[in-house]
Chain A
Amino acid sequence: MIFWRAIAAAILLVTAPALLAGEIPPDARRSGYSFMGPDTRAMQDDDTSNPGMLFVLDGEALWSKKTGDAGKACADCHGDARSGMKGVAARYPAFDKALARPVTLDQRINLCRANHQQATPLPYESRDLLALSAYVAHQSRGISIAAGDDPQLKPFVDQGRDLFMQREGQLNLACTNCHDDNFDKRLAGAPITQAQPTGYPLYRLEWQTLGSIERRLRSCMSGVRAQAYDYGSPELVALELYLMSRARGLPMETPAVRP
């Protein structure tokens, strides 16, 4: 009896993805959507009133627009995004063999521009980059997040996790202090979420525009009075990667709407 239990336990240990201390178990993971009021949910739910869809619309036009010295459009290599890009964003950030590190969807778009279109990179948070990234990620809407599975990503996921656990700033708080330990409580009037990155780039009412997860992370860092990492820095990429792997199984919502 004890023997069988031991085996069962051993099997559980091997098959269940190792859950690190303090992490939210898969069946308790909740999108930021579930923390919102009915009016903000309604804004996200209806594509004809979701302001993020304006950017998706822009992205759709950019997808087939020829650009750069090569005079090529995204569509010239990738074809119809609705089939070709389906599920792609749910696997990002992904490992890039040539660079030997993970790259975000934004970085992948700019790598494509540099390598295949011979075009200048689009600046972080620029309308065109957000629009393209929203258009690509929108093709994964409803698909479960599956980022971080590639074993080559392991050290980068670990780095992101360490950063998530690292106290920083004058207020000396780590992401985990709020988003693992205190979600569902209220910081002043605002509910604390689990920080599941299911809908990026997303339309934040506070911003009144679409923004990337990097912008959101930087604003949290400012919140604890820490020096925010630069856009595209290895730290922000690692954090995004960890957050996406932490959200595994949750469906993508791009473009989400959040307060």
Chain B
Amino acid sequence: MVRSPVHIAALIAASLACSAHADELVPYTIVGDSIPQSLTGAPGDAARGRALVLARTTTCILCHSGPFPETRFQGDLAPDLTGAGNRWSASQLRLRLVDASRFNAETIMPSYYRNDGLVRVGRNFAGKPILSAAEIEDIVAFLATLRD
């Protein structure tokens, strides 16, 4: 599973070049408890990431709360996101978004960048990850800014 960064870069380049099938995930390399490389090869946009975290469609805010005074309804099923950037590096946050079940098989946090091994996925979602690589990067960039 561990591939050389060069190989990954090549794959990303290839997928950009021929606009790979939407259902295909960008391959990534896990190092320790992290994914060091950006899934898109570029840093995400923290402002877009903040909007994504607050959008109910991405589901973050349904379970998590955080330093979002303008958002009235936040979940309390999962840890408060305040200080997430202190607790985790961007690389660690990336893997936790991509596949949190890797750390705890029983977690209720969905694997946001995964499209296999799932049961009865709805017609409109089949074969797709919950978030795109770019959305993951935006959210990672935002969470990394959450420092106490």
In their complex, do chains A and B touch, with some C-beta pair under 8 Å? Answer: yes
Q: Could you tell me which A residues sit within 8 Å of B by CB distance?
A: 166-173, 177-178, 181-182, 185-190, 192, 221-222, 225-228
A169 touches B119 (CB 8 A): yes
Closest 3 CB pairs of A and B: A189-B73, A170-B125, A188-B73
Q: How many contacting A-B pairs (Cβ < 8 A)?
A: 72
Answer whether residue B146 sits at the interface, using C-beta atoms and an 8 A cutoff: no
Q: How many residues from B make CB contacts under 8 Å with A?
A: 25
Given the known inter-chain contacts A188-B74, A188-B75, A189-B73, please indicate yes or no for A170 contacting B108, CB distance below 8 A: no
Q: Shortest beta-carbon distance, B70 to chain A, in Å? A: 14
Given the known inter-chain contacts A170-B110, A171-B59, A172-B118, please indicate yes or no for A225 contacting B75, CB distance below 8 A: no
B62 touches A166 (CB 8 A): no
Please list 16 pairs of residues, one from A and one from B, whose beta carbons are closer than 8 Å in the complex, sorted by A's number. A166-B119, A169-B125, A170-B130, A172-B101, A173-B110, A178-B108, A182-B108, A187-B62, A187-B75, A188-B73, A189-B72, A189-B73, A190-B73, A222-B122, A226-B121, A227-B123
- Across the interface, B120 reaches (CB within 8 A) one of A168, A186, A189, namely A168
Query: Using Cβ atoms and an 8 Å threshold, which residues of chain A touch B111?
Result: 172
Greatest chain B CB density within 10 A among A172, A177, A182, A190 is at: A172
Within 8 A of A (CB), among B10-61: 56, 59, 61
Query: Using Cβ atoms and an 8 Å threshold, which residues of chain B touch A227?
Result: 120-123
Query: Using Cβ atoms and an 8 Å threshold, which residues of chain A touch B120?
Result: 168-169, 221, 226-227
A177 touches B118 (CB 8 A): no
- Across the interface, B61 reaches (CB within 8 A) one of A167, A170, A188, namely A188
Within 8 A of A (CB), among B89-139: 101, 108, 110-111, 118-125, 128, 130
B121 touches A185 (CB 8 A): no
B72 touches A170 (CB 8 A): no
Query: Using Cβ atoms and an 8 Å threshold, which residues of chain B touch A185?
Result: 75-77
Chain B, 56-87, contact with A by CB distance < 8 Å: what is the 0/1 string? 10010111000000001111110000000000
- Across the interface, A171 reaches (CB within 8 A) one of B74, B110, B124, namely B110
Q: Shortest beta-carbon distance, A239 to chain B, in Å? A: 13
A177 touches B108 (CB 8 A): yes
Complex Cα gap A168–B125 (Å): 12
B77 touches A170 (CB 8 A): no
Given the known inter-chain contacts A170-B110, A171-B59, A172-B110, please indicate yes or no for A186 contacting B122, CB distance below 8 A: no
Q: Shortest beta-carbon distance, A235 to chain B, in Å? A: 10
A169 touches B73 (CB 8 A): no
Given the known inter-chain contacts A177-B108, A188-B56, please indicate yes or no for A170 contacting B118, CB distance below 8 A: yes
Query: Using Cβ atoms and an 8 Å threshold, which residues of chain A touch B110?
Result: 170-173
